[in-house]
Structure 1
Amino acid sequence: MAPEGAAGPALAGRRVLLTRSPDRAGAMARALARAGAEPLLLPVIDFERADDPAALASALDRLGAGEYGWLVISSITTVRALKEAAALRGTTLAQLVPGAVRVATIGPSSRRVLEAEGLRVDLAPTGKQSAEGLVELWPPHGDGAGAGRVLIPQSNLAAPTLAEGVAARGWPVETVIAYRTVDYPADPARRLTAVLAAAASEGDGPAEEAPGVVLTPHEANGELAAGRIDAVVAASPSAARRIHETLRPLDAVQLIAIGEPTAAELRALGLAVGATAATPTPEGIAEAVARSLYR
């Protein structure tokens, strides 16, 4: 990141578009503001409860009955979905998961959120914080890592990377749709609204709403055309696809990816990636923005 000095914070005067809703972009927007940037918000994706709640309920029944040795929670949105499912049962997320079940997640941010909910996390990568990073750490079946099946609640748009990688280690894997990723805005009657016990470090938690102006797609495109946006942040592969569908022109801005899967999706769409956040934290994202703008 460009050092602070007489000119002030590293991103002073820069305008950065975050493609998340205000309630999910708080920590990220505040980190950028602390670095001197002006955060702008354009929600492009949202999250709803699963189309088949009975399938999720059945999987959670089996979880409670001890049929799974591992529960993999691969995103903070999954935490929201499971907490909401637990509340419908009149219980908490911590009570939903038997103590003998081992819990895995994809990095320190989601670990902190799960621990704030009262869950012990047994496995989480600290380097490559992604499905790929978790698969690299996953123990072979029968290697003293417990028994039983592995339950992976996930989005309807989840890539098969995690399930296939765990299965390749010899584990029987069951996936279930816990929530739907949809274009913003979600149906108000179906939108995930569970409030987490702690705000996620990457800005996907229930902190105060993000500072910054919320733009419509038309307004965002007007700002892009006028050259008044310096960088656009894509938080997920699905957000990358919506950015590609919604925003024009993108050739004069830096595209910042949160994680390698998002970077790969941007490239597959023919978009240049200015930088990839080394860690999916507010500070990591601000550093990636600065790195792309000052290289």
Structure 2
Amino acid sequence: MPHPEAPAGTLGGRRVLITRSADRAGPLAALLGSLGAEPLVLPLIDFERAADQPALDAALDALAAGSFDWLVVSSITTVRMLVEKAAERGTTPAALVPAGTRVATIGPSSRRILAAAGIPVALAPVDMQSAEGLVDLWAAAPARVLLPQADIAGPALRDGLAAKGADVTAVVAYHTVDYPARPELRLEAELPSAVGLSHPGSPRELSQSQTRRELDAGTLDAVVAASPSAARRIAATLLPLGRCRFIAIGRPTAAEAAALGIPVAATAQVPTPGGIVAALGTVFANEGNTR
């Protein structure tokens, strides 16, 4: 059955490269496969545990003690960190967040994963699913906020919340590194299952050399970047893309790609597998479904 956001027949036979590891690419790969496309994966970035574990542990101790009014979760990888930290403490992720602390997040995937972990989300943008969207939604009022995030996270979310009157404690939750992460440091806690995120099987994984040959032969129809860091890695390792279209998961990723000189064929309106499928469908429909 065609995805409601993808023009019928536009994805059949298309070969789409997802620049994530197979476990993180699963939901998008499953949806693409159900629509007749061939999903392929090339992991470009990975995640390691924060170097300063005492600072992270202290922040989580303060969270559990009720020192924060809000916990802001800006990525699924942050949820993975919470799952890992809960396991270290012999408890559940939900037990890390006291009843009096509300949780905000950015995207629907994070919201579903948090719910599956027993952590209800009180605030999340619907139309603009980004740091900017959450800041726009945030009520101007004093609040104590814990913001665990990547080491390379930009200041937009932290500064935006502070401008709304929040006292923001930002802490490094994990490090974004080139794939593969060092095995002894890789953040790999298994995420709880969530409705809409289950995915059978695994897509085929390409090596860098295989990907280069596919790009040179013109046999890849699109490449999907799910973060600005993925766009930077694509610029560093995969250019030129030739006839392969670059699809961005959201505006920050599209902006980073444009700054790096990568033409952006489409940007997903919502940062979900369905949003990416819709963007792909629009690109291929506009081309008259020709090769």
TM-score bracket for the superposition, by shorter chain length: over 0.9
Looking at structure 1, the residues matched to 54 and 62 of structure 2 have their Cα atoms a distance apart, in angstroms, of 12
Partner SS state of residue 261, structure 1 = helix
Change (3 A) 1:168 1:133: same
Q: What letter is aligned with 2:153?
A: A
The CA distance in 2 between the partners of 1:291 and 1:34, in whole Å, is: 17
**AA partner of residue 69 (structure 1):** D
Check whether the contact 2:116–2:194 (CA below 8 A) recurs between aligned residues.
Answer: no
Counterpart-to-counterpart distance in 1, 2:70 and 2:131: 15
Match of 1:222 among 206, 213, 226: 213
What is the rounded CA distance, in whole Å, between the counterparts of 1:283 and 1:131 in structure 2?
20
Identity of aligned residues (%): 58
Alpha-carbon distance in structure 2 between the residues aligned to 1:3 and 1:175: 42
The 5 A counterparts of 1:99-248 are 99-142=99-142, 147=143, 149-199=144-194, 207-211=199-203, 213-248=204-239
- Name the SS for the 1:25 alignment partner: helix
Question: Offset at 1:293?
Answer: 2.2
2:276 corresponds in structure 1 to 285
TM-score, scaled relative to structure 2: 0.93
Query: Aligned in 2, Cα 1:2/1:108: closer, same or farther, shift over 3 Å?
Result: closer
Structure 2 vs 1, CA of residues 227 and 69 (structure 1 numbering), >3 Å: closer, same or farther?
same
* SS of alignment partner, residue 69 of structure 2: strand
RMSD: 1.5
Task: Report what 2:249 is aligned to.
Answer: 258
> Would you say the 8 A contact 1:110–1:200 is kept in 2?
no
Structure 1 residue aligned with 2:43: 43
With normalisation by structure 1, the TM-score equals 0.92
Equivalenced residue count is 282
Distance 1:2 1:178, change over 3 A: closer
Q: Which amino acid aligns with 2:206?
A: L
Q: Deviations over 1:65-85 (max 9, x none)?
A: 211111000111100011101
Amino acid at match of 2:55: A
TM-aligned CA deviation for residue 208 of structure 1: 4.4
* 1:270 is the counterpart of 2:282: no
Q: Report SS of the residue matched to 1:39.
A: strand
Contact in 2 for aligned 1:115/1:121 (Cα 8 Å): yes
Structure-to-structure mapping, 1:1-80, within 5 angstroms? 3-4=7-8, 9-80=9-80
Matched residue SS, 2:46? strand
Query: Is the 1:221–1:249 Cα contact (8 Å) retained in structure 2?
Result: no
CA shift at 1:13, angstroms?
1.7
